[in-house]
Structure 1
Amino acid sequence: MRDFNKSRTKSFACAGVALSALLWGSASHAQSAVEAIKAPAALQSGTPNNDPAEPAGHAGEEAASEIVVTASRISRTGFTAPTPVTTISAEEIQNRAPSSLADVLVTIPSFRPTNTPTTSGVNSRGGGIVTADLRGLGATRTLVLVNGRRFVPSGTDGVVDLKLIPTLLIGSAETVTGGASAAWGSDAVAGVINFILKDKLEGVQGTIQNGISEQGDNAEFRASLAAGTTLMGGRLRLLIGGDYIHNKGIPNQYSRDWGRREVGLITNAAYADNGLPNYIIAPQVYPSLMTPGGLITSGPLRGTAFGAGGTPYQFDFGQVFGSQMIGGGNQGNHLSRSTQLAAPYEAKIVMAKADFDLTDAVTLFAEVNGAWSSSGGFSQQSRDAGTLTIRRDNAYLPESVRQAMVTNNLDTIAVGRLNNDAGPVRVHSSNETLRFVTGFRANLGGNWKLNGYVQYGQNTYDVASGPNNRIVANYMRAIDAVFAPGGQIVCRSTLANPADGCKPQNIFGDGSLVVDDYSFGTASFHLRTEQRVASLNINGDIFSTWAGPVSIAAGIETRKEEAAGTSDPLSTQVQANGSIGAFQIGNQVPIVGSYSLWEAYGEAVVPLLRDSPLGKSLDLNAAVRRTDYSTSGTVTTWKAGLSYTPFAGLRLRATRSRDIRAPNLAELFQNGGSSFVNVFDSKLGTVVQVREVQQGNPDLRPEKADTWTMGFVVEPAFLRGFQLSVDYYDIDVQDVIAGVPSALAVSRCSAGLTLFCSSIAFNPDGTIRNTILQQLNLNSLKTAGVDVEARFAFEPGFMPGRIALRALASYVDKFVTVDAAGATDRVGQVSQFNRAPGVPHFTGVGEITYSNADFLANLQVRMVGKGVYNNAFTQGSGAANTINDNHIPAYAYLGLNLSQGITAGRTSFTLFGTINNLLDTDPPMIPSGSIGFANETSTNPAFYDVIGRSFKIGVRFSL
């Protein structure tokens, strides 16, 4: 594999130092390091954890016996749901020393890390948001629960920031990798992740850890503390915990060897004439229409650039392809200069819960969450790709250039400028989340149980982009500087309107721009979202048949989601080109909207066989849910599944379901915000940057998905400790809510598909003015594949302790988007070309763990299978959709986790260390060529590591 053996000697030297530091003290007897081996978590088969009466053990706490297993609302001893479930224990979480829960979820191959601090890029929403994305279908199609209850979303898109859930209070995390809307409601199209909190804790537990990359950046400090006690003879149980994390982030890719190669994607529109590929991946890719100090881009003075102090010089053009070039005189100005490899962030999270046994049959409970997070960083600098018009009488124009304009009879020149002196626009965002839950659990007699709760949550989100955010119209007036009759330099507009407040700007020479309060400012947005939920649920056995009891669960729920957002006045200005917003970036406009729903569900388990000649057991599991939305009316979801055990050691399972995702607040009520995108203007024959205006749609309908899962679980008696599960899935989502990406709409309009032209606003001369991105029920998504999971734990005999082997793999057979232009299968595509991400065919995680009474060593390998840059491309030249390199090899990343326990009386400590990307493997070079998000780096951080080798050390303690 490419770069797999890079720095091997250095890597193992680092590992040896970490190992030596932890091997001392092996005679101590702390147990916490090996709990995960003694009581391994259920992985997809769900066998240990699908029986609430026999929960997996956790040191210092009891698993919550009343928590319903995520795969089903039925809590009955012996019942095993037919839906695949992956469970991660608290010990497995803590052994990863995660920065956030996403670091744990990434060990499940069906998850895609599509939104983390390392994928925030130049996203003006700010970095640091961490979301769960199953199957690559998007975070909005993965439902996040805490103790079986929805968590407060962190914005109008309805997604949950995972880092706001305190890790030390989590007893386990269960993932249902299949549709679960009938059981849990909207958004569970790809599946559900349910974080189950510890029910009881005696004493104090804590973790303190530090981390840093080998390059000296990505410095991180994390402290977690949890404390619990029981009072009143055990009737009152109190638990409180919190996390603090501060990560300083990573600057742009120039901080890495691979980034300094400045690899980019060239679009070669003249492939038929020059015989080269349509797309070219190459190092030293720079803009050809702008330099930091300014560049004349057309006419007889083309190539005149401006150096320090505005001194003219002849620019060295490389091999030019429209707005880009390979080589030449723009070294150090690859557009990735504005993309952070990891956004810095800080988070403070606290959670408290109380359970009180009012009687032997009734328990009251309450939960309170508070979370505060902030993220800094930057978005792209302002860029003028030959779009600045400078007149001959400009006061700052070097005299030699003015004379050349006179000689060539030029009244104006077109200037391009990469405004590094104004800097990448600084962005700061913050989230504040509050959540209150109170409810009850009651035993009604027999095995009938009733529970209910009310929940209120709110999230306050603020983002500020500036103060160096260009106010576009003001800036254009400011650079049109002239001499006033008195000899002073003023804006031309000031001659006609002396009170206009314009402050002239000099664009000639890097460092000449001044970030003042006329040409620059801060775009701000304040958003408050609220969630109200009330739910009542009952479950028990209604009668028995020849095969056992028939169990049911039923419930009703009401929920209301609402949002109110305000922004600064400049962000809401209507511009001459029809777009909204005066700033270069940001320009989020006010949003006001809400929706509510009522729903009722029922689920049943009907045993069909028990200890029969036809099999050991056969259970039918069925559920139905009816939901009435205030915006889109009623919809029905359902599931039906079978779980069949023909004989001990083999279980077969299959599920068919109808699932939904209702439109979120942003999709319904977004009101015209805009951002810049790159599109190819066929009239001009080059890539241009234009505004993309986003619009919501209150008439949207819920997405509907049909899901199949089927597979088997093997636990042979002759191989104790071995467990294997294999599951096939097929998900077909219709009425997908989406907008046509601007680059795609423009290319297909240019190809004659007039349907897409309605998304484009043209100038009178036929050039593109701006694009429109409106949310519509216009697409479908189809994906299918196989998940495999295996675990084997044994005592080797020739040495003390245990060895555990674990492997998880996901093979995706198809990942198809169907829109008005047809079907596009992006499986195997690992680039983010035109902001249309694909998924690898294969991803996998394998690990081996050795543990004894007080020591644990874990070696993990994460694999990304080979892929292509784009499925629509062919490797070749001289024709459309050809590319010089369309093959991406397989990649593997090694990680090492070590821990050593120490016991002193009733106090125990565990020293631990981790090394991620042990071999310091560089990512592949797969630039997307698109603007924004993480698309301007030379790789795809959603699948490949951009940090390099990094280290964490810390201590866990229990008092």
Structure 2
Amino acid sequence: MTKTQKFLSRSALSSGVIGLALVAQPAFAQDTAAADAPEDAGTIVVTGTLIKNPNIVATSPVSVVGAEEIALRQSNVAEEILRDLPGAVPSIGSAVNNGNGGASFVNLRGLGSNRNIVLLDGTRIVPGDIFGRVDLNNIPLALVERVDALTGGASTTYGADAISGVVNFVTKKDFAGIELNVTNQITGQGDGNVFRADLTIGGNFDDGRGNAVFSVGYQQSDAVYQNQRDFSINSINSYTGNIEGSGTTVPSRMSVPGGGTLQIDPTTGSLVPTYATFNFNPYNVFQTPFERFNMFGQASYEVSDGIELYTRGLFSKNTVSTIIAPSGAFGTPVEIPYSNPYLPAAARAQFCAANGLSTAQCDAAALATDPTDGNYDTFTTALFRRTTEVGPRISDYVTTIFDYRAGIRGDITDSIGFDIAGSYGESENVQTQRGYVLASRLRDALLATNTTTCLSENAGCVPVNVFGPDGSITADQIPYLTGNSTVAVRTTLAQFRALVNGDIGVASPFAEDPIQFAIGGEYREYTATRESDILAQTPGELGGAGGAAPNINGAYNVYEAYGELIAPLVSDKPFFHSLQLEAGIRYSSYSVDAPNSPSYNTTTWKAGGTWEPVESIKIRGMYQRSVRAPNIAELFTPVSTQLTNQGVDACAGTAPLADANLQAVCLAQGAPLGQIGTIEPPTAGQANITTGGNLNLKPEKANSYVIGAVFQPTFLPGFSMTLDYYNIKIKDAITQPTPGDLYSACFDSITGASATDPACLAIRRDPATGQLSGDPSTTPGFLANLSNLGTLATDGIDLTWNYRHEFDFAMLNLTFNGNWTNSSKFRSQPGSLNRECVGYYSVNCASLQPEFSWNMRTTFSFDDVDVSLAWRHIDSMKFEPQQIIDDGGSDESVLEDYRRIKAYDYFDLATRFTLTDNFDVTLTITNLFDKKPPVVGNTIGSTTYNSGNTYPSTYDALGRRFSIGGRVRF
């Protein structure tokens, strides 16, 4: 066997993927795969078209990740593979702790994780949340042969949601034998262990008429805490560079009428200006703990010539735990008797004076322990107290999913086939929240005049001491304060599809291949519910939960009819080695299951073609009209107050004292007069936002086009290149304004902020402190419901090239996949800013989208050894210029060192040893040079992606990692 043969036998060529890297697959590679395919081409999955014949290649470019790339990277979950795809934007994954709902997603082109479809062998699987997104944690990587990512719209082929494209996980077919894979990964600092094992068994039976395969897997990963890395031990304020954290801290901070929010000095008992914020970093993690059990099976059987039955089943159970800093009172309004036994005398005197009590009245109230006593009195304050004594807040997300599909396919004639299939899936995600302090019980425990009993009659109530340092809440006080809460999200997807495809038996007079077609119909029914216990449903009850989780119950169904056509017009003529047209159309009828809810019909279509003037050059283009129907969350979510990100506030500090107009605006937004001049910025850079679903939403529409070229020059054997320009524009987009949009609509107005401006009145403040953050039961914050008023647009260029050459001593394989994103703009509503986020980071630009990014892999394959180096490049980024304007127009609003992130380059080294015909070992070093992530502080972006003073979903926060994997095959 030659080096070339040995190399290709270890590569993904058998699946249509040339090379080991993350590559945008050119059309000729699919041609190569098709040439080696079995005659029964009905089982071949070609992403982007429903046309059966693989010799007819779809026009839209497809990026491909082969099984060998997955093996060399030793990827453990699908999200890790897609996170580094140039042109994609990191979404929720293992590096997201605060904001992770126990699932992982993909975000193509930065247009949102709800605007693409995840497929398994070309078929939808049940979504994992109320937004209709598929949880990538459930994809069975052990059987994945390749991953196709088609971007630029695919609604005509796959239906709604595919505005930005599809990701298709294609599994191995006709697997025969036994394969055991075991991998283990650990960081250079000895933590973050990840273990994974998969066993796959398959075989052919009945003289090859049938095949069955079954795979089981287990995975477990350990947490890596942020205080285990020197750059994230402390929380850093991005605006000042100072080490500081949350204003919900210990000792307690309390709002004092006319005095602002002050902190208790435990040595004197008096209330003083804030001197100690809370460092929440040590409790947060860079790698979420994860455990997964999964099973996947599929089988096919040829019952007669030309008729085949097939089925597949997926089951997965995984647990993701998120760990964040301790619970407490996050601006919770509480009533406290002046006679509370734990209230320091100095603090009591300050509250008495602030509330107009004389010294005599104050002394009398301090002694009045019976509410019927005429001298008994209380005061109300917004309490900020971190209950460190309780421990961290932990959310365990246990997701159980099964998805089953069965069908029959076969031949109607020699050139026309059919495929009829149905599937059903269910997903359940149960969140158990532990370590949370209950606001109602805290209020009970503070309404006390002795150390043993509360004034309330609630059983088990024990008075609590929140006025002392860490440890003042004793072990006997904790049980009454805390409680566990559960939220269960359940989704189902039932679908049925009938498809007829083949050729019509007629060819163009100038071409050899006949015209290909596909026609069919589809039905899908989605249901989704969220059931929360009373604790989770009550705003502000779970201290620091980020808002209530109201119950949701929604459903909709859709009937669809579609058709596609690929017509070879010319072949093997001068200047027309080939000319091919492609077109498709899909009609969809949606029905929402709700009283008086609208139904709507949509039509999507595509048109494009390819032209090869000579054999080595192919020009291709595609124009598509896509739609996305509103999902269940967007339709049915009740209005509730949650958290968003906002680091500055014009009403904070002393500015309103010198500006009567600004003061009037702050008062109109609900700030108390006594707090003007002492209002603080949002706690930990997090403000409240009130939003919800809208049953009046309509489908959003997108126009997209791709134009490009494929080069395979005959003068350079082994080389190929693709170059494609893409452009996607979405109108009537289902969006809500960013916090920057809402804030600037009031405070950055050309005519200045106005107390009567609706944009200013759409901001509602904490009635006790005047802040934009506070108890969600009293502080709506920004008001931002969903609408169809938004627009999104992005465009850029994808470049890929591959080169393979055989030397005397080894086979060389080079692959490159790069992206230039020219723009990615978002306008939430007419008149608002058309915000650009490419190359920028801020609270308005959530996950980072660099202008340039690329992956390149260089592999030398010797007789029994592969040595491979991967190079990942991320372009430089900078602080969003518009955010500087929102912050007051000063370049100094953010520390200079945090206003830019230099370009980053990561290198990963992998070596695979083939020890025997049945056994190989792969060693991988990720982040070979142990490059540290950029430090930009904790308050410069959204909490979901800006954590641990960096962006851990984009940059490597774990450092150098070592992986070893063994594969045994029989």
Separation in 1 of the partners of 2:447 and 2:943? 29
CA contact (8 A) 1:652 1:712 kept: yes
Select 1:827's aligned residue among 833, 837, 851: 837
TM-score by length of 2: 0.84
Select 1:512's aligned residue among 465, 472, 478: 472
Cα offset, 1:884, TM superposition: 3.6
SS at 1:570 equivalent: helix
The amino acid of 1:611's aligned partner reads D
The amino acid of 2:229's aligned partner reads R
Separation in 1 of the partners of 2:551 and 2:784? 17
Correspondence 1:327-406 to 2 at 5 A: 330=277, 333-382=278-327, 384=329, 392-399=338-345, 401-402=347-348
Are 1:479 and 2:479 an aligned pair? no
SS at 2:281 equivalent: helix
Separation in 2 of the partners of 1:203 and 1:673? 54
Separation in 2 of the partners of 1:796 and 1:313? 80
Select 1:633's aligned residue among 583, 591, 600: 600
The amino acid of 1:844's aligned partner reads W
The amino acid of 1:890's aligned partner reads A
Which residue number corresponds to residue 656 of structure 2?
A: none
Separation in 2 of the partners of 1:571 and 1:875? 37
Are 1:925 and 2:925 an aligned pair? no
The amino acid of 1:505's aligned partner reads V
Are 1:726 and 2:723 an aligned pair? yes
RMSD: 3.2
CA contact (8 A) 1:97 1:914 kept: yes
Count of residues in Structure 1 that have an aligned counterpart in Structure 2 = 878
Cα offset, 1:619, TM superposition: 0.6
Correspondence 1:474-873 to 2 at 5 A: 474-483=441-450, 488-491=451-454, 493-494=455-456, 498-499=457-458, 502-507=461-466, 508-513=468-473, 516-542=478-504, 543-548=506-511, 549-573=514-538, 584-585=545-546, 587-631=548-592, 632-677=599-644, 680=649, 682=651, 683=666, 685-688=679-682, 691-742=688-739, 744-750=741-747, 751=749, 752=753, 754=757, 756=759, 759-761=762-764, 769-771=779-781, 772-797=783-808, 800-820=809-829, 821-834=831-844, 836-873=846-883
Select 2:229's aligned residue among 241, 249, 256: 256
The amino acid of 2:535's aligned partner reads L
Separation in 2 of the partners of 1:404 and 1:372? 55
Which residue number corresponds to residue 169 of structure 1?
A: 143
Separation in 1 of the partners of 2:550 and 2:886? 45
Cα offset, 1:448, TM superposition: 0.8
Which residue number corresponds to residue 70 of structure 1?
A: 47
Are 1:40 and 2:18 an aligned pair? yes
Select 1:900's aligned residue among 884, 893, 913: 913
Which residue number corresponds to residue 251 of structure 2?
A: 293
- The Cα offsets for residues 521-556 of structure 1, whole Å up to 9 and x where unpaired, read as 122112221100000111111121113311111110
The amino acid of 1:868's aligned partner reads K
The amino acid of 2:726's aligned partner reads Y
Larger deviation, residues 77-86 vs 749-758: 749-758
Q: Which consecutive unaligned segments of at least 5 residues does structure 2 have?
A: 363-378, 593-598, 652-665, 667-675, 773-778
CA contact (8 A) 1:220 1:245 kept: yes
Cα offset, 1:725, TM superposition: 0.8
TM-score by length of 1: 0.85
The amino acid of 2:98's aligned partner reads V
The amino acid of 1:793's aligned partner reads R
The amino acid of 2:873's aligned partner reads M
CA contact (8 A) 2:328 2:544 kept: no
Are 1:153 and 2:165 an aligned pair? no
Cα offset, 1:872, TM superposition: 1.5
- The Cα offsets for residues 616-651 of structure 1, whole Å up to 9 and x where unpaired, read as 111110111000111331100011111010001111
Cα offset, 1:407, TM superposition: 8.9
The amino acid of 2:821's aligned partner reads V
Cα offset, 1:832, TM superposition: 4.3
SS at 2:443 equivalent: helix
Shift in CA distance, 801/812, structure 1 to aligned 2, threshold 3 Å: same
Are 1:215 and 2:189 an aligned pair? yes
Cα offset, 1:243, TM superposition: 2.0
Cα offset, 1:942, TM superposition: 2.8
CA contact (8 A) 1:335 1:936 kept: no
- The Cα offsets for residues 344-389 of structure 1, whole Å up to 9 and x where unpaired, read as 1111111111100011110000111111111113234336567666
Separation in 1 of the partners of 2:255 and 2:766? 22
Cα offset, 1:96, TM superposition: 1.5
CA contact (8 A) 1:828 1:868 kept: no
The amino acid of 1:916's aligned partner reads T
Q: Which consecutive unaligned segments of at least 5 residues does structure 1 have?
A: 1-26, 267-279, 318-322
Separation in 1 of the partners of 2:188 and 2:94? 18
SS at 2:43 equivalent: coil
Correspondence 1:266-345 to 2 at 5 A: 266=239, 280=240, 282-287=241-246, 289-295=247-253, 310-312=266-268, 330=277, 333-345=278-290
Cα offset, 1:519, TM superposition: 2.6
Cα offset, 1:810, TM superposition: 0.6
SS at 1:91 equivalent: helix
Are 1:424 and 2:384 an aligned pair? no
Are 1:122 and 2:103 an aligned pair? no
Which residue number corresponds to residue 202 of structure 2?
A: 228
CA contact (8 A) 1:311 1:509 kept: no
Cα offset, 1:705, TM superposition: 0.7
The amino acid of 2:405's aligned partner reads V
Larger deviation, residues 508-517 vs 597-606: 508-517
Separation in 1 of the partners of 2:761 and 2:345? 47
Separation in 2 of the partners of 1:528 and 1:415? 36
Separation in 2 of the partners of 1:811 and 1:730? 12
Separation in 2 of the partners of 1:33 and 1:313? 76
CA contact (8 A) 2:704 2:727 kept: yes
Cα offset, 1:43, TM superposition: 3.2
Shift in CA distance, 69/760, structure 1 to aligned 2, threshold 3 Å: same
Separation in 2 of the partners of 1:180 and 1:620? 17
Which residue number corresponds to residue 97 of structure 1?
A: 74
Shift in CA distance, 407/556, structure 1 to aligned 2, threshold 3 Å: closer
Are 1:182 and 2:146 an aligned pair? no
Cα offset, 1:828, TM superposition: 3.4
Shift in CA distance, 464/261, structure 1 to aligned 2, threshold 3 Å: closer
CA contact (8 A) 2:841 2:877 kept: no
The amino acid of 1:510's aligned partner reads D
Which residue number corresponds to residue 14 of structure 1?
A: none
The amino acid of 1:811's aligned partner reads W
Are 1:444 and 2:394 an aligned pair? no
The amino acid of 1:949's aligned partner reads R
- The Cα offsets for residues 580-632 of structure 1, whole Å up to 9 and x where unpaired, read as 98884463222111100000111111222212223211111011100011133
SS at 1:49 equivalent: helix
Separation in 2 of the partners of 1:69 and 1:922? 40
Larger deviation, residues 103-112 vs 179-188: 103-112
The amino acid of 1:671's aligned partner reads P
